[in-house]
Structure 1
Amino acid sequence: MPNPLKDNPNWLVVRDRALVPAGAWARQRRDWVVANDPVYGGLRRPGRPEAIALGGTFLLLALFVLFLALFQWNWLRGPIGDWASARYDREIELNGDLDVNLFSMTPSAQVRGLRVGGPDWALEEDTLKVADLQASIRLGALLAGRIEMPSLIITKPEVVLIATEDGRLSWVLDPDKADDQGMKIPLINHLVIRDGTLSLDEQKRDMTLKATVSAREGTDGEAGFHLDGRGTMNGTPLRLEVRGGPFINIRRDRPYAFKAELSGVGSTLIADGSITRPFDLGQFTATLSLQGRDMADLYLLTGITTPNTPPYRLSGTLRRDDTLFTFNDFSGRVGTSDLSGDLTVDKAGDRRRVDADLRSSLLDIDDLSAVLGGTPRVTASGDTVTTSGAGAKLLPTAPLNVERLRVMDGTLRYRAARVKRNELDIRQVDLGADLKDGVLSLDPVSFDFNRGSLNGTARINASRDTPYTTADFRLRGYPLESIIPARDGAPVVTGSALGRARLEGPGASVHDFAANSSGTISLVVPQGRMRAAFAELLGINVTAGLGKLLSGDTGTSEIRCAVADFTVRRGVATARTFVIDTTPVLAKGTGTINLGAETMNLRIDGETKQPRLIRLWSPITVVGPLTAPKVGIEGGAVAGQLGIGAALGALINPLVALLPFVDPGLAEDANCGALISSAR
């Protein structure tokens, strides 16, 4: 039978040029070893030295086997505990039996009576005590640089966690290497926890928690990982429940499902998701639902500073990637307003950073009053929440929590596309904030009205014990008819108002800031129209004013200009310029507005530009709270004018008695251009 290899010319070349020379070289090396290598010669013809070495080797092997047969692993309990205690600067003891099986593809160990003491500042509480611990490890994975545990059985573990106000954590064995990336637990295929307990004392947030912990396999409702805790936070009940699936055939590439619920301080958080790579707790994705009475309460549960709000309900996707948390595409309601957006929380060093982009399709302005520091009255019926307005004070009184602002940085952008019908006729809202090292910058602060807008910036330095605020706000084109209500179906005044407020001062709330502020406040009406009856009454023109008013005359007079310019010192605004110039009357005012007491005390003197038969020479007064001032006239001046008229009538002639009430109308137009320029 022909041989294809021998008939192949390529094979002949390989044989002659490679295989034959290689075979000859191998035979030469073999002959040299046989002739010259002393080790080979000793093994073939052992002498006395070789026999002693061989006997010694077999003796060592026999002694090693005998040592393993008689060795007690309990002999190492003391040395292991001493080494671990010195390494982690706390008492670590193995008080029970120690059994180890090394001769297996899954080496295992059993430890009884394990105790890990607390650090030197918490010696009265052991961090961990375990009655019995059995663990095995997969040798092949270990040689590949991974830790995989086919089995872990823990009986009666007692865990005590203590966190002090200054940030010390009792469970961190090596504080120099502590991080916030989440605990990374080795892959466990079979986990059993029997009669476990966990105790937490978090002193900074006044939180205590005692929980039971268990884990077992099976197919019934009790299988899987269970943690059930009860405690208190800030004096209110606290509840924590965590559920995980059974630990059966857990793999690194298969997410591990869990569900957690945390309730306390008027808030409830529910997370339903999975750990992406078991058991790297720094990586997970979950659907997060949260609800409560006030978002500010979330600071105690999450450490994230949020403003005060009415009751809320939100839901979105929560993801963790080590120190980075994202809460994306969330939506829900705050009060009676819808809210959606994205939130990012990260931590660099010892500071947390929060960036939020929030949106509302339809905002109830009463809900926003709580965010800005007001105290809205909120009522709830079933799932319906109604916000009925602000509290007793016109300016918000809720204090700013400066300590919470100092522990984090971040940015916020909030936009409301539409606003529900409101007294101020606000149509859109745009707010921006930047927080850095305890300094909060608000830019923009923008409210768009049906006509006109309010825009401004503010800077709140919360690094001080009492915050110090600098604010600059401008009002453009706001309609006067939105300020002064209509009468008899017709507007009293029409026109557009311009204004500016530049204030600075200390204060923990908007109200306290205004009560201690200094600066200027100005309001300008470049032109407009006023009901003629009220224009006449500015000068107490009885015949013309009352006549038009009683006859129902809806005619108007021109407002040539109106300027109110106030200087503010320690919360009291004093009129520097106060002029209302209409076609028939030039009115000038004096007085003060107390921003702290939220009251006004103004006096307006009117001078007619045309002769009037009956005019009361008495100033108009505007006094009382800013929310409901009272308009009147000075009674003393009127009584004096009436007394003079009566005396003249008795002594001279009844017609002469009218002279005190006659106004020749000598007032001139105001220099509106100069007044407006000075006020701006």
Structure 2
Amino acid sequence: MNQQQQPDRVATQQEQQAGRAPRTIVTPKRLALRVAGALLALLALGVAVGELSGWPFLRQPLADALTRTAGVPVRLDGHFRTRLLWRPRLSVEHLNVGAGGGVEVPHLVDARNIELAWGWDDVLRWHRHGEPLRVQRLRAKALDAHLVRTDREHASWQIGRQSLPQPPRPERTLTETLPRFGAFVVDHGFVTVDDPLTETKLRIDIAGREGDALPDSTLPDSTLPDEQAGYRAAVNGRWRALPLQMKVSAGGALPLLDENPEAPLVPVRIEGRAGAATLLFEGRAGALLGARRLEGKVQLRGPSLAPVGKPLGVTLPQTPPFALHGALTHAGGLWHLRADRATIGGSRLAGEFDFDTRPKTPLLKGSLVGTRLALADLGPAIGTTGTGDPKAAAKKPKPGRVLPDRRFDLPSLRAMEADVQVAIEELAFDSDKLSELRQLRTQVVLADGVLTLNKLQASVAGGTFAGSTRLDSNATPAQWQADLRFATVDIAGWINGLKTPAGTATQPETQSRKALKRRRDEARAGGAQPAKAYLTGTVDGHLKASGRGRSTAEILGTLDGRAHVFLRDGTMSHLATEGAGLDIAQALGVMVRGDRPLALNCARLDLDIVGGIVRPRVAVLDNKDTTIRIHGVLNLRTEALDLRAVAKPKDVSLFTLRSPVTIKGTLGSPNFGVEPRRLAGRAVAAAVLGAAVAPVAAVLPFIDLGDKQASPCESGAAQAAAPSAAPPGTAPDK
């Protein structure tokens, strides 16, 4: 005991002996403890008062702290109340968060009547480690958000300060910056999305709720329970320059706006218009502004396929109205479409396709099948107006011209590559004058701007059709090549325009090989049966040619090549035979007793094609009555006709003009006539004989004794012109 304490102890003992209460001695340590206790009590009282009152005086300090943390201005206006300790939360009448990334928009978020709940540990992880901020609950009765990006480095959603060094990135995604929510409820919101990098400019009117603390929704229906995640939204604007007008039901909104390829998929129902097409999609989706992951059923309708494929970078032709039902998936840049049912005009198709956008040049692979494909439905794809050309009604064809002159969309052939297997049961032509091709099979390959049809084969009227074509869009102008063969095709069964009135009056018969052969044999048997077709028989042929141009007309106008056609086991209408020879007497006799088929000894056509000029090297039809030869020129550049058909009879005719028949004009407007010089010579001779000898002698110049010269078929030259080998798949008649 020190000397200073001794008097205090003595004084204390004296006070106790005197009956007084001892005096408390306050030491500095005790004083410090008492002051600290008082301060703690005052602090506890202040915290309690603050918690009970809602900390109204913290409005501005909190706004300043949020501004420093977010790196953008944050305002808290109007009614304000918060709780900072147990279950921290905040309610404010008006919250405004400025835009980040140096983007000039009014704000990132402007919300009314906000309720916010968070955890301090989540805030620390966000602030110290750069993790996405997790918000336990956020509710807003009204929300206005602007998600705007001007380039890869500047976006309005880039807020927050990263305390740890981050590796350089070409762009920051929504996943890296937007908060996570236990519950996010919006009674009524507007979201503006403006992103030139994805050519997206949308306005989204949205209402609903989401978050990992809410039960996930199934496929959205007309209503959602209050505690279940889900949104209703109206989307208007443009995506990839494609106008959108959609109604969307989704199990969440943020996964749809995410860019992370690992973003969770949420149930989605999308219904509305994309450009001129009508869309219905039911399934799941995520990251629609980035990797675009989705899977579900799809229904698509529209006036043409071309504008639908353009935003996706898929080269599709102009078509008539179409409808598609199937399933669509997309992940990692790979689209997969299963078209269970597709109608394009009168075509009935299906197929399965993969479209890979990851290569520098996108690649389409798959298979196209169908029960019917009408060539008119793909008219613009082959250079015609067709039924799919929206401007077809306004376009007036040039007088007398029939060759398609619509230019091909050659740049689109270089926008993608393709490898598609095609299996069509029936290919219908524009005209009902031609029978359909059956069992069409080919491989469509588009590589480096070159479109090729490989292994092309089909059956038609009991015969086969095979070959390949190639269109090179890299050449200037584009170059087209074809090597096509056909064999044992029943010409009357294929070309319906060859039917006589007697043939068109009968019921349609089957196109089977056996039935067609039976009809040919009946026609060659002769007898009293009427001719049902002006020309019958099986035709074999081969075309090998090439041309250049930007349309079908331009290519044909520069065509170089050769064509061979040989008709076997055929007949020719007796009336047509006499008409070709202008044998009036016999033609009248045929008309009286009825047209009968005459068996052909041979029919052969060899064509030379140079610079679009077609000249028959050999063109002959020979039967027991007449030999008909064709000479002249067909100009494919101008479509002009200058042909002569010369008939040499083999029997005696009492009254025949026997003057060559001429075919002038154009393909669209042919003019049939008679060569005037020979006809004039016969007329002059008849007049002289009638005047000098007797009137009856005037008929002598019109009598033809016939020419029994050898048939052009007897030399074997015509048979030698027949193709030496039939196309693949040819089978003999049965």
Do the aligned partners of 1:311 and 1:334 also contact (CA within 8 Å) in 2?
A: yes
Tell me, what secondary structure is at the counterpart of 2:451? strand
Partner of 1:429 in structure 2?
Answer: 440
Q: Which amino acid aligns with 1:582?
A: N
List aligned pairs for 1:445-456, cutoff 5 A: 445-456=456-467
CA change 1:107–1:367 in 2 (3 A) is same
Give the corresponding residue for 1:149.
134
- Note if 1:476 corresponds to 2:487: yes
Residue 679 of structure 2, aligned match among 625, 628, 638: 638
1:514 pairs, out of 546, 556, 560, with 556
In structure 2, distance between residues paired with 1:469 and 1:572? 17
Name the CA shift for 1:144/1:339 in 2 (closer, same or farther; >3 Å). farther
2:519 corresponds to 1:534:
no
Instruction: State the shift of 1:468 in Å.
Output: 2.1
1:405 alignment counterpart: 413
Shift of 1:311: 1.2
Residues 417 and 364 of structure 1, relative CA distance in 2, 3 Å threshold: same
RMSD value over aligned CA atoms? 5.0
Q: Does 1:224 align with 2:233?
A: no
- The alpha-carbon deviation at position 273 of structure 1 amounts to 0.8
Aligned to 1:9: none
Q: Which residue in 1 is equivalent to 2:32?
A: none
2:99 to 115, 119, 123: 115
Q: Deviations over 1:354-407 (max 9, x none)?
A: 12312213445543556544434489xxxxxxxxxx999754444322222212
What secondary structure does 1:488 align onto? Answer: helix
3-state secondary structure, aligned to 1:616:
coil
1:160 partnered with 2:170: no
Aligned to 1:95: 73
User: Which amino acid counterpart does residue 621 of structure 1 have in structure 2?
Assistant: T
Residues 294-313 of structure 1 show CA distances to partners (whole Å, capped at 9, x for unaligned) of 11121234321112222111
Unaligned runs of 5+ in 1: 1-68, 82-92, 380-389
Secondary structure, counterpart of 1:649 in structure 2: helix
Distance 2:453 2:192 in 1: 44
**How many angstroms apart in 2 are the aligned matches of 1:410 and 1:171?**
39
Structure 1 residue 351: Cα displacement: 2.3
How far 1:642 moved relative to its partner? 0.8
Alpha carbons 1:127, 1:170 under 8 Å: kept = no
Task: State yes or no: 1:322 paired with 2:306.
Answer: no
Using the TM superposition, name which of 669-678 and 287-296 deviates more.
Answer: 669-678
Partner of 1:547: 589
- Counterpart Cα distance in 2 of 1:403 and 1:485: 43
Which whole-Å deviations, capped at 9, do the CAs of 1:266-312 have from their partners, x for residues lacking one?
21222111148999964432111111111112123432111222211
Which residue in the other structure is 1:562 paired with? 603
Cα pair 2:100 2:108 within 8 Å, conserved: yes
Question: Which residue pairs with 2:316 in the alignment?
Answer: 306
| Deviation of 1:449 (Å) | 1.5
Whether the 8 Å contact between 1:309 and 1:334 is mirrored in structure 2 is yes
| Aligned equivalents of 2:172, 2:433: Cα separation in 1 | 51
Give the TM-score, by structure 2 length: 0.65
The CA distance in 2 between the partners of 1:75 and 1:172, in whole Å, is 19
Q: How many matched pairs?
A: 576
Q: Secondary structure at the match of 2:351?
A: strand
SS at match of 1:351: coil
Tell me the CA shift for residue 237 of structure 1. 5.9
Counterpart in the other structure of 1:286? 296
**3-state SS of the aligned residue for 1:115?**
coil
Is the 8 Å Cα contact of residues 256 and 277 (structure 1) preserved in structure 2?
no
- Output one character per residue of 1:161-201: Cα deviation in whole Å (capped at 9) or x when no partner: 569xxx99989999975799x99988643235674432447
1:189-588 alignment runs, 5 A limit: 189-192=182-185, 195-200=189-194, 209-212=202-205, 215-216=208-209, 219=225, 224-231=230-237, 238-245=244-251, 256-275=266-285, 282-364=292-374, 366-367=376-377, 369=379, 372-377=382-387, 394-418=402-426, 422-426=432-436, 427-464=438-475, 466-482=477-493, 483=495, 484-489=498-503, 490-554=532-596, 556-588=597-629
Q: Which amino acid aligns with 2:626?
A: V
**Equivalent AA in structure 2 for residue 244 of structure 1:** A
User: For each residue in 1:617-636, what CA deviation from the matched residue of structure 2 results, as whole angstroms up to 9, or x when unmatched?
Assistant: 31112344546745442344
Question: Is contact 1:201-1:209 (8 Å) kept?
Answer: no
Q: Percent identity?
A: 23
Q: Aligned equivalents of 2:153 and 2:567: distance in 1?
A: 61
In structure 2, do the counterparts of structure 1 residues 371 and 402 end up closer, same or farther at CA, with 3 Å as the change threshold? closer
Partner SS, residue 434 of structure 1: strand
Label 1:135 to 1:674 Cα distance change in 2 as closer, same or farther (>3 A).
farther
Alignment partner of 1:342: what SS? strand
Shift of 1:598: 4.6
CA distance in 1, matches of 2:177, 2:490: 62
Q: How far does residue 112 in structure 1 lie from its aligned partner after superposition?
A: 5.9
Deviations 1:8-64 (A, max 9, x none): xxxxxxxxxxxxxxxxxxxxxxxxxxxxxxxxxxxxxxxxxxxxxxxxxxxxxxxxx
Amino acid at match of 1:513: I
| DSSP-derived class of the 1:491 partner | coil
Q: Is the 8 A contact 2:118 2:136 kept in 1?
A: yes
Distance in 2 separating the partners of 1:571 and 1:312: 37
State the 1:470 CA deviation.
1.4
Matched residue of 1:314: which SS?
Answer: strand
- Write the letter of the residue equivalent to 1:591: G
Matched, 1:615 2:656: yes
8 Å CA contact 1:641–1:660 kept in 2: the answer is: yes
Instruction: Report the AA paired with residue 488 of structure 1.
Output: A
Which of the pair has the greater relative contact order for Cα pairs under 8 Å at 6+ separation?
A: 2
- The answer (yes or no) to whether the contact 1:609–1:668 under 8 Å persists in 2 is no
Distance 2:435 2:364 in 1: 32
Comparing 230-239 with 319-328, greater Cα deviation is found at: 230-239
Return the alpha-carbon distance in structure 2 between the equivalents of residues 461 and 179 of structure 1.
42
- Structure 2 vs 1, CA of residues 346 and 567 (structure 1 numbering), >3 Å: closer, same or farther? same
Offset of 1:257 from its aligned partner? 0.9
- Quote the Cα distance in structure 1 between the aligned partners of 2:476 and 2:386: 27
Q: Distance in 2 between matches of 1:410 and 1:184?
A: 39
SS in 1 for 2:306: helix
Instruction: Determine if contact 2:96/2:107 at 8 Å carries over to the other structure.
Output: no
Structure 1 residues 226 and 616: CA distance shift in structure 2, 3 A: same
Give 3-state SS (helix, strand or coil) of 2:603's partner.
Answer: strand
Residue 134 of structure 2 aligns with an amino acid whose one-letter code is: M
Aligned equivalents of 2:253 and 2:194: distance in 1? Answer: 25
Cα 1:136/1:645, change in 2 over 3 Å: farther
CA distance in 2, matches of 1:294, 1:416: 21
Supply the AA of the counterpart residue of 1:443. Answer: N
- Asked if the contact 2:291–2:331 (Cα under 8 Å) also holds between the matched residues in 1, the reply is no
Give 1:460 shift. Answer: 1.2
Question: Residue 281 and residue 221 in structure 1: after superposition, are their counterparts in 2 closer, same or farther (change >3 A)?
Answer: farther
Which amino acid counterpart does residue 565 of structure 2 have in structure 1?
L
- Does the 8 Å CA contact 2:97/2:107 hold for their aligned counterparts? no
Please, which of 707, 717, 720 is the counterpart of residue 674 of structure 1? 717
Task: Pick closer, same or farther for the CA change 1:97–1:219 going to 2, 3 Å.
Answer: same
Check the 8 A contact 2:255/2:263 in 1, yes or no.
Answer: no
For structure 2, the 5+ residue unaligned runs are 1-57, 77-82, 159-166, 211-223, 257-261, 390-395, 504-531, 724-734
CA contact (8 A) 2:255 2:286 kept: no
